[in-house]
Amino acid sequence: MDTLQGRYDIGVISGLEGAQMTQEILVGVDVGTTSIKALAVLPDGTVLAGASRPTPWHHDGAMADVDPTLLADTVLGVCADAASDERVATLGPAVVRGIGVTGIAEAGALIDAAGRPCAPALAWFDPRGEAQVVKDVIGRELFQRTTGTRLNSRLSICEVLWLTKNVPGADAAVRHLCLGEGIVRAFGGDSVAEMSLTSRTGVLDVLAQEPWQPANDLVGDLLPARRIWAGDHAGTARGEIPDVLKGAALTVAGLDHFSAGFISGAIRDGVLFDSMGTAEALIRTVAGTLPSDEVASLTDRDVSVGWSVLPDHLMLLAGRLTGLSLERVAALLGADDRESRRVLGEKAVAIERGPNSPRLTDLGNDSLAITGITDGVSPALLWRSVVDDLTSVSDEALADMDASVGPPRESVVVGGWIRNPMVAAAKKRQLGAYRTSDIAEPGALGAAFLGGVAAGLLQRPGPEGVPVWAP
């Protein structure tokens, strides 16, 4: 297993001590399911500082939502913390030239005519979306063929239907902004629709790259008129924001998995990118387009087709609940930290799984089911069984993507779970040889790079999609 070497070590700024010239820096922020992470980065890719805060969801069982204003304020604070860190101050005066915002998809804010949020934003995993209404009015096959997304309750269109039906004032919405888009607007930027995020809303005719009229008829014309690619300039940071951020060029850096894959050199033709966060994302890049029949076939098999952070590149995306399920099982086994999970993984690798071992039988957003837990089952055997079964869940999706665009010539796997010995062994059996990345926060680092593109400090990569930092 090879390693993609990262270019930085947070807090280690070699050869820069004592410099007093004004430094141009970039800030990348990743609005994730669990936490919000921001990095302050030099244009050469050196990470100066990082900051994080928990994502301020309001949870009620399987349901979760967030106040868009509170979320934006939290993101502002995290970005300011990173840009004002004492490790940045040691360089002397610094100016933030670009800010990129990446994050989760599906979740978004409804905005009224006065420019204010008029409803909470439902989390991507919240089950309240009105998928049945979309099925009844539009039809599942037509919806999936056109939007490139499998119809389910988590899509933005389904969440909007629920919100406008159940939240007073939500029906006054004139715009829907995905979370990253809403944060850029809260920073003083423009209302824009970034293509990789918009592809996940269920209101875009994905191959035409235009709003889809049947979706508009159902929820209203809520997409911003201006559609952009990640890295396109989307305004300037201004207004009631920390002074350290004012004047920076802004961009929406797209879906978090895509931003992470981009900075890892894995968003290009012929590469499988496996991002193992709370949700596992299996991603293949396609230059150009696909026939509509192929889009229909893939979405019917739960492989979505949408746009990349690279202009005019399609992404095949299969999402699985691998990380969330591993978290649940580790908690049940009392493995609450990385070290205890590592030890558990080492023990699991060393044992064999027999025909009467536990089996994962059901997997959902808010639950999982395991059978075969007898008196003789050890924690290590249970861990091995769950890891093996969770890995096999993605086998069919990988086969479907291979059938559409051919087998990958290389695979790149990132995320904290790949550091677990048992998970690493299972992935080796599934993928063969693969590379990993030691980039600590690839989503935020990718966002910082794209913020540099928006600021004119860095060049957008060509078709190969390999980012090159400024010398």
Query: How does pLDDT run across 429-446, given as a tens digit for each residue?
Result: 999 999 998 888 999 999
Residues 247 and 321 in one domain: no
Q: Is the pLDDT of residue 208 over 70?
A: yes
pLDDT in tens, 80-127: 999 999 999 888 888 999 999 999 999 999 999 999 999 999 999 899
Residues 49 and 148 in one domain: yes
Burial bucket for residue 268 (CB in 10 Å: 0-12, 13-18, 19+): buried
Question: What pLDDT band is residue 368 in, cutting at 50, 70 and 90?
Answer: confident
- Answer whether 13's CB lies under 8 Å from 47's CB: no
Residues 290 and 383 in one domain: yes
Give the mean model confidence (pLDDT) for residues 278-298: 91
Q: Which domain holds residue 450?
A: 2-259+441-455
**How many domains does the chain contain in total?**
2
The string of DSSP codes covering 122-145 is EPTT-TT--HHHHHHHT-HHHHHH
DSSP 8-state secondary structure symbol assigned to residue 458: S
Residues 97 and 112 in one domain: yes
Task: Tell me, yes or no, whether 464 lies in a domain.
Answer: no
Residues 248 and 310 in one domain: no
Distance of alpha carbon 433 from alpha carbon 326, whole angstroms:
23
Distance of alpha carbon 439 from alpha carbon 405, whole angstroms:
28
Q: Which helix H or strand E contains 89, and what residues bound it? A: helix 86-89
- Comparing C-alpha atoms, which of 117, 101, 212, 121 is closest to residue 162? 121
Return the bridge partners of 274, or none: 282, 413
Q: Lowest-confidence range among 70-79, 159-168, 407-416?
A: 407-416
Q: Which two tokens stand for residue 280?
A: 């596992």
Q: What angle do CA 51, 339, 378 make, to 5 degrees?
A: 140
Amino acid identity of residue 103, one-letter, is: G
For β-strands 108-111 and 35-41, DSSP reports them as unpaired
**What's the predicted TM-score (pTM) here?**
0.90
- Answer whether 394's CB lies under 8 Å from 320's CB: yes
Residues 305 and 216 in one domain: no
Residues 194 and 236 in one domain: yes
Question: What pLDDT band is residue 4 in, cutting at 50, 70 and 90?
Answer: very low
| Average pLDDT along the chain | 92
Task: Tell me, yes or no, whether 316 lies in a domain.
Answer: yes
CA gyration radius, the chain = 22
**CATH number of the domain that residue 108 is part of:** 3.30.420.40
pLDDT in tens, 31-51: 998 899 999 999 999 999 999
Residues 240 and 382 in one domain: no
* Main-chain phi, psi angles of 249, to 5 degrees: -70, 140
CA distances 338 to 342, 419, 449, Å, are 6, 9, 29
Residues 252 and 342 in one domain: no
Return the bridge partners of 49, or none: 40
CA distances 384 to 327, 333, 349, 380, Å, are 14, 12, 7, 6
Burial bucket for residue 184 (CB in 10 Å: 0-12, 13-18, 19+): buried
- Answer whether 345's CB lies under 8 Å from 338's CB: no
Q: Which two tokens stand for residue 447?
A: 């966002």
Q: What is residue 365's predicted lDDT score, i.e. its pLDDT? A: 66
Amino acid identity of residue 135, one-letter, is: K
